[in-house]
Every structure is written in structure tokens, then in C-alpha cells.
Chain A
Amino acid sequence: MKNILVIGATSAIAQTFIERMAVGDNKLFLVARDKDKLSTIKNDLRIKKNINITTFILDVNDHNNYDSMFNTAKSYLGRIDILLMAHGTLPDQKECEEKVETAVFEFGINALSIIVLCLKAAKIFEDQKFGLLAVITSVAGDRGRQSNYIYGSAKGAVNIFLQGLRNRLTKYGVSVLTVKPGFVDTPMTAHLPKNLLFSKPEVIAKGIVKAINKNKSKEIYLPGYWRIIMFIIKSIPGKIFNKLSL
């Protein structure tokens, strides 16, 4: 039996993760901003899996609501075994360059909200001396590219933040899993033309569950071949890299 908290539960990747975890005696507490979507997921799981689920509405821009969310989750779940954070946005890079407010807003969702939520969760995990914190970042955080460096820098900030948090929480027996997916076919990428590098959300969810079951406390690439792709991209010398239109 696992007690699982998912933030950004309506994300396509999170949904397939939840589907996998909604088995046996597992208890799920799902957090997202859209009430209708949340209840849609809840009904579906109740009918399919005969499992009861508790939900909580949270817009991650609303930092004031974080404590109340965590308190409600704790009182429902008791101990938190697994926390997955999946929310995010893929901003329009051009718009971010034109409008500073957009850049700040997007950075707020993709970096700051995660960092603040993790800091609060870390306290809980420290007290529990147990648990696994998984955060979906992205391969985009490995090297900045002109086409999406606001998104990339936010993901990169979270990657570094999680390294530190892992360093801090290891002695408490708490695992910190950084999940770096490549391209995934989800609503976030609906507007992009699809190529062979796109994975299905199910593939990412499967990888996350596998890493969680092994209690991994490290950075993982999903699918695994993205480690090689990113290794190559990171090794391109700056002189050449800067001439590429990536």
C-alpha cells in the first residue's frame, strides 16, 4: 500500500502515472487547478479501478494555498510515500522576449512554484524520515537553446535545485528523483509537428514507476536514449553551437 500525492494531476504524463498507481490499496491525493478535469479523472478512476480518490484544487501561482494543500493531503494520506510534481507550461519564447511579464510569469510556474512546493514538501519528508519526491523537469534544462531558453532555464534551475535537495535529504532516507523526459506527445506539444523522437506519455509513466519502485534517488532520462542525445548536444563546442538554429 502506497500513499501518493500528485501535483499537476491533469497533465497527460501524470494521468498515465496515476492510472498505473491506482491499484490495490494505494491511496491517491490529486492536485490540479481545473475542477472539471479533476472530477473527470476522479469519476473515470472510480468506475475503472473501483478506487477512491481525493482531490484538491490548486493553481500553483497561488503560493498562499500551498500549506492548506499539504495539510489536507497529510490528513487524508497520513504518511506521504510518493510525491510527483508534473505541472508545467511550454511558453511562447518569442512572447517572453517581447514581454518581460510573460517571461517572469512562465518562470514562476516552471521553476519557482516547483522550488517552493519542494521546500515545503522537504520539511514533511524530513519529519517522516521516509519517502520519495519525484519532479518532472526536462531535457530542455540540460542546455539553453534559442527556441526555448525561458522554459529551458526554468527546468535547468529545478534540476540544480533538486541536486541540492537530494544532497540534503539523503541522510534522512528520502529519495529525490529528477525525471527528464524528451519530447512527449501531450497537450503541451499539441501544436508541434510530431517526429520519431516523440514518445507516448505511457512510456514516460512506465519509466517513472520503474524508477520509483527501485527507489532511485538520481536524475533519469526518459526514454533512456535521451541521455545519449543530450550528451552529444552538451558536447557541441560553443563556437559551433551558437551558429546552429536550435
Chain B
Amino acid sequence: MNDLKIVLFICNWGPHAAFQMLQDSCRHMPHQVRMIRIPCSGRMSRALLFKAFETGADGVALVGCEPGSCRYGSGTGIAERNVQDTRGILELLGLGKDRLRLATFLPEQSEALLEFLQQFHADVERMGKSPVIPVPKTQPGESGRDLAARILTSHDIYACQDCGKCSSACPMSLCGKPFSPRAMAGSIIGGNIGSASVVSDVWSCLTCGICYDRCPSAVDFPRFIRDMRQVHRRAGTAGQEAHEGFFQALMRTMTSPDLDIRHWDWLPEDIQVDGQSKTLFFGGCAPYFDTFFGRTLGVKTCDILIDSLRLLNFFDIFPALLPGERCCGHDLLWTGDRDSFIRLARLNVDAIEERGIEEVVTSCPECYRTLAIDYPEHGIPISFKVTHIFDLAEKEIDKGAIGFEKLNRTLTFQDPCRLARLGGPGELPRKLISRLKPRGFEEMRDRGNSALCCGNCAWTGCDSYTKALQVKRLRQARETGSNLLVTACPKCQIHLRCAMEDPFLGDEIRMEMMDLTSIVARTIRWE
């Protein structure tokens, strides 16, 4: 029965010599261990390490050179950090961090290497097979051309009057990228689906929705792009995934039904939840984001979840949580992996309905839109109501007897696209902000319907142009003279924080950020 798959990534330099020694002397190694020779342990990114698990590995050992003996100097240190982050992710997924190990050996330590491999094999054997079922490659099925034709008609792209309003408003075009939604639509209508420029354009769009907002014929570019990505994914021309596709791989992994996900293990004890409640709080992927970006960007998006729950508790709402909550699937849907999206949606809806939940509350704009709009739109009806926490908070505060403590900051607000333009309660954030007691509130030049994107959507197409867009946005924020940039989406925080790391601009665009839910929760008071 022993069909375990153990991958050994071994550095070409020190430890590979030790490994060869074992081979040369015909030492018995567990046959489940498959060796892959790599140039340096530091080159094994988190995405590469994780992809081994996505594709069915039961255990992964990364073996590098002893600290100080790295041929490139910093390899071992980088490997340590990458392994640590990836172990955090494995732990959240319930796979267990011990399925990934890092070890270092000198060329002459072949005995120690053998011992390590035997021990690791025994450990993995004890943990058993991984519950991850690799997602099969999508079958081509319908031809790309037919599918594209269907997508063109269903989104009525032919209604385009060639007026150019979309291209003149598109933030990608405006920050200098040779990119035009109108031209792209024209090419696709002309049957030019697979050309390099169309592929690149389809993967560059931010699906931010400004063009849709402006278009006199209501050509729905975001949905059109979303579906075109399906065509390209099937044709194998998916691309430009940020972080080497780490997040898409993570989300695809979550489609395995037998995972024992541990989404909420880290929750502080003072938060009151009630497993019997008919109201469920759906958190979203913040724990994964913090594990992945915590060290590099210092973002704490889990605070948004904690503050959301504290706010619910303040209103005497003690919600249920799904211990095995999965990603809502937003990013898979918007990067063309409809099949995996549907698998995730099913798993989530089944888990929610099994508990007899009547209302799902969420503070993530993407989860909100995905659950409320995209699940039903993709043939997964929901029997519960989906409420954005802003909506709930506004109703509770409006009942009266609630006020806010003074906040000695001047605020400005970054609209998340999924609230401002694509299906969310667009006006609510400002209503809530008007209830707060900050020193001031200054709007950015582009706001509300016209707000600029934080620079990325669904972890695809991050490049120097999107960076330019982010810098432009942060300059707008700084121009307001405000000293606190209020966000309402965990990803806005991540992408904007990332842009602030620019070593050349640095202080010029740096700004403190805080989620609106956190500000509300931290200043709300009974009167």
C-alpha cells in the first residue's frame, strides 16, 4: 500500500555530493523518495515548494548546504524563510507543517543524510497520504473559437460603438501601458483570439470596472475578460500570475474535499462565537495572506477579521464560524479556472447550508460579491442571505445610542473595486466614515465610481505598469494631506503596501493604512 510520494529537492553543491556517495555505495534509500536536483536551495520559492503539494506530494524535503557553505552566500537563509512561510500555509490547510522539512548537509555527511531521509520517510508514513487530490488538467472540450464566440454574444460585446470612452478611462491605458480595451475587443471580434497581444491584454486587465461604468453601451468588460481568461487557460496560454501562481495553487488545493482546514485556530480568546448561531461570519483568506506577506510587507489583514468579530460581539451578535472555511474562489474565477471555482463554491455552500445558516456576514468585498452574485450566477444557488459588515454596522448604529470616540487623524479612502463598481454597497463606506469623528476626511481626486485600482486583481498581471498606477494612486492619497489611508479590502492593503516598498520613492508615497472595519470597531462607543 506504500504509494507515498516524497520529493527531495537537493542542492547541486554540497548535499548532492553526499547523495551521490549514497548511490555509489548502493545504500538502501526509501524508494518513495524521488530526488530532484536543483541549483540552490534558496531558489526554491514558496510557490515551487507549495506546488509539489498541490500536485500530490505527501512530503517534501528541501536539502541545502550548511549555513556558511552556500556557494551563493545567502541561499540557505532564503531557503529557511521560504520553508517557514510554506510550513505556515500547510498548517492552515490542515496538512501539517511537518510534511515540509529543511535540512542542510556538508558533502561528506552522507550517513547523516541517509538517516534524515529514513527518518523523514517514517514521519511521512506516520502522517499518511496527503488528502490533496490534484486538480486534473482542464479538458479542451468546446473549441476556443466557439467558446469565444459564445462569450462575445453573451456579454454583448458587439454593442460596442467604438467610442473609445473605455480606453480613455482605463487606468492601465492611462499609466502608459500599450493597452486598450476597445482595441482588444475589436481584435477578438475579428477572430484574433490567440495572438500574443490579445493574450497579453486579456491577462493585463485589472477587471476594475471603470470602463464598464463609462461605456454608453454597457459593454461589461470585467465579465468578458473573466470569461476570456477561461478560453486562454484551456488553450494553455494562461500566464502572468503574480508570485508564480502561489495563490492560484493554494486555492486549487483547497478544492480537495478531505482537507481538515484550520482556518480559525489563531483567533484570540476574547472573541465570542456560537456554533449554534444561524448567522455565520465568513472571513476570507486573510490568514493565508498574513502568513505569506507578514514577513516581507508586515501586513496584518487578520486584524480586519478580529475587528469584524469584535464589532459583531459589540452588537451582541455571536456568529458561527466555519472551522474548515475555504477560499470563496474569487481569484480562481477571475483567472479563468471556472471548474475549480465551482468545486470550491460547492464545498463552501454545502458546509454553510449543513449548519442551517440563514445569514452570512463578511467584511471582504470579494467574498461578498462572490457569494452573493457569482455563486448563483454560476449555477450554485444559495439559501442564505449575504450581508456586508458595513451594511450590518450601519443598520445597528442607525438604531441609535451609539457614538464614536474622537480619532486624531485625517482620513482618505481607497474604494475597493468590488464595492464601488461591481456589485457591493458602494455608498456605505462613506456613510460610515461620516459617522466617525476623525480630525478630517479628504477625498482623493479619483474616488467612488472613478476610484483607481490598488494595482492588482486576482494575483495576475503585476508589472511595472501596475506599479506606476499604484504610485499614482498613493500620490493622490498623499496630495489630500491626510495621514491615514482607509481601506476596505485586505488586498488593497497588501498591494498598496507592496508599492510603498519602492526603494527610490520610499517616504514620498508611504502612508499608514487601516481598514474601515477596524476604525469603526476601535472607536465605537455606547453613548
Answer yes or no: do A and B interact: no
